[in-house]
Amino acid sequence: MGIGRSVLLAMSKSAFLNDQALNRTFVKRAVKKFMPGEAPEDALGAAQVLGKAGRGTVFTKLGENLTRLDEADAVRDHYLKFYDMIKARGIDGHVSVKPTQLGLDLSPETCAQHVHVLAAKAAESGSILWIDMEDSSYVDRTLALYEGVKKAYPNCGLAIQAYLLRTPQDVERLMAVQPIIRLVKGAYAEPASIAFPVKADTDRAYYEVSVTMLQHAAKGNCFPIFGTHDIPLVDRIVAAAKEIGVADGKYEIHMLYGIRDADQARLVRDGRTVKTLISYGSSWYKWYMRRLAERPANVWFVVRSMLPG
């Protein structure tokens, strides 16, 4: 298979391919591997099934880089209702938003207002508001956004990407607000001047930052979440947590719906706290291309779903 990560990430930015993919039944069939359905009810239904198996859920409505501010208002309103839907069904569920989905490109002030409104709603619902990290051009603005909202609402978490060279400094800086951090490897195409070009370096950095977060957690400064499907890495982190003295329940492991499902179930059986991130909505193209890029062998799922039967 000659198609690689950088080609797939470049394809994720094509408006033409976006329109083509959304209209192709075989692509929709392949996308099903990673999301239960486009409707909010599909996501909630899947979360209820996971809940019975001891897994919590983080929900995200797909969509990013909006072009009109009223679209950001609609996203805010959607999530306000969605928190009520989570609560009404008794689901252990959080919500994760992208700053550009709440208008960061168009008005940082409006985006911050929306984030504060959603954080207040999450607090009222006994839930958490997560902020995803997008490409490197947004990192400074997203850190500032998070620091602002975390001071007002403790129940907010932020994704941080291990592939960025700056991340160890960012993590230290965030300790001032006693952060909830979801550490991920990073899903975007970034230049070698700011991100590790070799995956093994990202993997090593991920472990090192994990240990730093656990050390802060042992002092009560940080609530660490490990967002990865890298099972050997998760096993090392669990061992490090034991050694450092961070109990189960004082950190969590989050994975995406449809990936490493048997391992997610096994981790729950072993006493770990696991949440599954479920995506829904119709704007899945960019997000789906990033999933293909994480494992280019996934392109075979698309090819296979083009075949009859």
Of 183 and 214, which has the nearer Cβ to ligand FAD? 183
State which of positions 103-142 bind ligand FAD (CB under 6 A): 132-133
Q: Cα separation of 206 and 93, whole Å?
A: 26
Give residue 300's Cα distance to chain centre: 24
Of 88 and 200, which has the nearer Cβ to ligand FAD? 200
- What binding mask, one character per residue, do residues 146-185 give for ligand FAD by CB under 6 A, x or -? -------------x-x--------------------x-xx
What do you get for the CA distance between the two ends of the chain, in Å? 23
Of 88 and 262, which has the nearer Cβ to ligand FAD? 262
Smallest separation (angstroms) from ligand FAD to the CB of 259: 5
Q: Does 210 bind ligand FAD (CB under 6 A)?
A: no
Of 65 and 218, which has the nearer Cβ to ligand FAD? 65
Q: Is 301 exposed, middle or buried (0-12, 13-18, 19+ CB in 10 A)?
A: middle
Q: Which of 8, 246, 291, 302 binds ligand FAD (CB under 6 A)?
A: 291
Cβ–Cβ < 8 Å for 41, 25:
no
Smallest separation (angstroms) from ligand FAD to the CB of 116: 20
Smallest separation (angstroms) from ligand FAD to the CB of 135: 8
- What binding mask, one character per residue, do residues 216-255 give for ligand FAD by CB under 6 A, x or -? -----------xxxx-----------------------xx
Smallest separation (angstroms) from ligand FAD to the CB of 145: 13
Of 85 and 233, which has the nearer Cβ to ligand FAD? 233
Cβ–Cβ < 8 Å for 277, 60:
yes
Q: Does 186 bind ligand FAD (CB under 6 A)?
A: yes
Of 124 and 300, which has the nearer Cβ to ligand FAD? 300
Of 100 and 298, which has the nearer Cβ to ligand FAD? 298
Smallest separation (angstroms) from ligand FAD to the CB of 242: 21
Provide the 10 A C-beta neighbour count for residue 202: 18
Smallest separation (angstroms) from ligand FAD to the CB of 185: 4
Smallest separation (angstroms) from ligand FAD to the CB of 298: 5
The tokens of 192 are what?
């070698």
Smallest separation (angstroms) from ligand FAD to the CB of 160: 8
Of 68 and 206, which has the nearer Cβ to ligand FAD? 206
Of 68 and 144, which has the nearer Cβ to ligand FAD? 144
Report the candidate in 252, 262, 168, 166 with the shortest Cα–Cα distance to residue 207. Answer: 168
- Chain residues that interact with ligand FAD, rule: CB under 6 A: 132-133, 159, 161, 182, 184-188, 227-230, 254-256, 259-260, 277, 291, 294-295, 298
